[in-house]
Structure 1
Amino acid sequence: MADETSNEERVAESADVSKGVRKRSEAKRALKQPAKAQPNVAESLRIQRAADSPSTAAKRAARAFPASSFEEALGLAEAAFEYGSGKPVRRLSLFDHLGKSPESGPSRQWVTNANKYGLIKGGYQADQLELTADGIRAVSEDVPARERVRVRVQLAIENIDPFRQLYERFVGNKLPARNAMVDAIQEFGVPEGQAEEAVDTFIVNLRFLGLLQTLSGAERIVTIDHLLDTLPSTPATSPSSHVAQPRSTSAALITATQAQYETTCFYVAPIGEESSELRKHSDLLLGSLVEPAMEQFQLKVVRADAIDKPGLIMLPRAITRPLHSAISCSIRKITPVACTAKRRSRRSRRGCSQSRPT
């Protein structure tokens, strides 16, 4: 009996031990289960990111045009040129000078677009930004207006493949309907989701450059040669420069021995005192209208304040009287013949009244 009892006790103890082992095993499995599930979540996130990443990269790579107008990108090039006089500048210093955050999304996009237009070298993470050779020619006032506009057209239209193809298709014609241009630019490889944005950017660039003009009552896309023919080939003088810095008369006085009458155009105009409003207005007209008009004839415009002895111009009355009559008649918007006839009529009436007895 004692042996049977001891055997039963051993069997019970063995059963208890087995139960304890099973419970500890189950507990370990329960503890390990969340740890096994965590890699699955991480793996699914990794797979999802990998699935999203190629489409995003492909979308960015598919953009064949900048994400802003050329005028907006040109603003960064102008700021860099003014800040560094055409030399490379530190990106952080430039944006600090402009009062903008260099790491903001709009600032980064600004740099990216200026780079895509070929105005600057360096991206939004570069330490320095440098203007390209074409970028300098596009913003420098020392470059003739015709050449400056020609470079801008090249950067904004000709170097952007879908814009160039769209321009070549419709140049010389009226501005087509927007939907027609959207369909056309899709033929040139622009995705459907970006076609409208591309057309809008293209039209804005045309207007800024002057390639979209109103002719015969309709907006037309004009040729580059037509645009350039309307511009002077020499550097344009900024009207504001005349107002802020009146011309110096003492440095460029012309004497009788220096005068070259064959190539001189004498400009008669009221000038007033130096730094007066009348002088500023006269300088504005001289620099922005008269001088550019005479350049094509290779004539040098001389005003009275540029002569060493002004006030000595003596013209015969036979010249000054018809000249004065023509000027006064033009102001009254009547022909000189009619003006002379009216003057003679007044004289005859005045003579008759004097001879009439009182």
Structure 2
Amino acid sequence: MRKFHRVLAALACVGAVAAWSAPASAQSATLAKIKARGSLICPVPTSPYLGFFEVNSDGSWHGFDIDICKSIATAILGPNAKATFSAVSWADRFPALQSGSLDLIAMFTGWTRSRDAKIGLQFSQPYFFAGVRLMVPVSLKVKAVKELNGATICAAAGTTAVTDLVPYLASLKIKYKLLTFENSSDVASAYKSKRCDAMADAGAGLATMRASQLKIDEHVILPDAVSMEPISVAVRQGDDAFLDVVNWTLFALVQAQRLGITKDNVAARRADPNSSSEVKFLLGVTPGIGEGLGLPDSWAYNVIKANGNYGEIYDRNLGDKSPYKLPAGVNTLWNQGGLLYTPVFD
């Protein structure tokens, strides 16, 4: 009897080791479907969301989240990868993912407890950190929120712009008047008509509104981060192996920025025999980066060659090379004062 128990225990250990060591790619039905289909299906909103989803003159899309989707498609499908964009409303993006009509959600989607625990989603490492900020006219000569003592501030009712702003202002112990409106367009109108001294909204929303409706050099977004919200890619619950591919694609974009690898120099860095061991591994010169992901060792090289590093994606869609001129702030490397980091590439 004891011998029988020892045999069962040994078989259980073998099974556990086999399950642990099985390649992640063999377990990912989503990855297999994408490869068989030859395209990655991502959502776009039914109307543009400036900086993240914008329509070109030929009807194609560009923007920060578009580039995130294209990067993941390139990691999986290689050079000239096809990403298919399916229009859904903000409310319908979750049912669309659950039904299988989308492969993932990269659509300015916040990682929240209820979305994670209640509706059957899994979230990637944050690829963007959003949060409430305040914008003021340059003429006020205000450099920080604490200088807004006695100011009137406009915000949209029922939003995190209000729920996060009130305790933040209380912590600064300043006096203020809060005007709330039912929608963001009314908030913008009140600010433009000078009914308020400052406008509270997500930082990216302020930047795009400033560029599209105001004279950009006459208004400044204050550096204070009133709140922080992680924006992540969502996949279906149980899509662990596919989530690994998404996560490591995002990490590769950040790692490339840290190592100074850009869209323009990536080929030269890959060919340079004097490149560091980190560069050689990331770009597939040293084998191993595709192992366990179901991807070739050239996948990160292909992504950077097609789309650039994280900083390049940010700059062309939201930063200095965009119409919005939104400083990266926390959306830069940890050693430059930001929140972006990667696990070890080993």
Taking structure 2 as the reference length, what is the TM-score of the superposition?
A: 0.28
Higher strand share: 2
Q: Considering Cα pairs closer than 8 Å and 6+ residues apart, tell me whether 1 or 2 has the greater RCO.
A: 2
Larger Rg: 1
